[in-house]
Amino acid sequence: MIPRRIGPSLALGLASAFLLGACGSSNGSATGNAAPAAPVTSATPAASDPAAATTAAGAGDASGPATTAAVLTRSAQGLGSIVTDDKGLTLYRYDKDQPNPSKWTCSGTCTKTWLPVIVPESVQASGVEKSLLGTVHRNGRTQLTLAGWPLYRYVGDTAAGQTNGQGKDQEWYAVTPSGQKSTATG
């Protein structure tokens, strides 16, 4: 037999757990997930050495978002100039996201393959116009944007310079320094 005061407490506890779980599962489809641009500092080419850049939590993995403290412009075979993180990993944009206002739509299972690029308060930039960099709120974190487009890494890129996510599902593209999708071939 359950004493009378435990029954209501148990029900209240379960309801609270359910509501708290629902609060943390935003998919970005609601308005108001845009954030003002994060402070961004420009790096000189010498200061933007990927080995010198620090990250807040490492490169990330399939279990969570990827973190970076710098973005760089690199040349990729067949794609021209693209943007990479401080480890040389290609950054991508998703055609279903929105640039103005910045809005992400990749959530849930999608983020197991496409890791949102989470940034600290300031980001170093080399070869990317710092005025084009910004952020969007993502479940209590700050995701990097370029020309308003939220940025991601592809789990299939395991080494610097790889562009295995280019053109996936005709929706994912390496991002150029101006925020456009890379469509160059050859």
Q: What average pLDDT values come out for the chain (186 residues) when binned by 10 residues?
A: 47 40 37 39 31 32 61 90 95 97 96 95 89 94 96 97 95 96 74
Contact of 145 with 151, CB cutoff 8 Å: yes
How deeply is 113 buried, as exposed, middle or buried, from its count of CB atoms within 10 A (0-12, 13-18, 19+)? middle
| Polymer length in residues for the chain | 186
Give the Cα separation of 50 and 13 in Å (integer): 48
Contact of 88 with 160, CB cutoff 8 Å: yes
Q: How far apart are the first and last CA of the chain?
A: 75
pLDDT given for residue 65 in this prediction: 59
- Which of helix, strand or coil describes residue 156? coil
Give the Cα separation of 157 and 161 in Å (integer): 8
- Which of helix, strand or coil describes residue 117? strand
pLDDT given for residue 122 in this prediction: 80
pLDDT given for residue 40 in this prediction: 40
Beta-bridged to residue 124, according to DSSP, are: 41, 70
pLDDT given for residue 141 in this prediction: 93
- Which of helix, strand or coil describes residue 138? strand
pTM, 2 dp: 0.66
pLDDT given for residue 66 in this prediction: 64
- Which of helix, strand or coil describes residue 63? coil
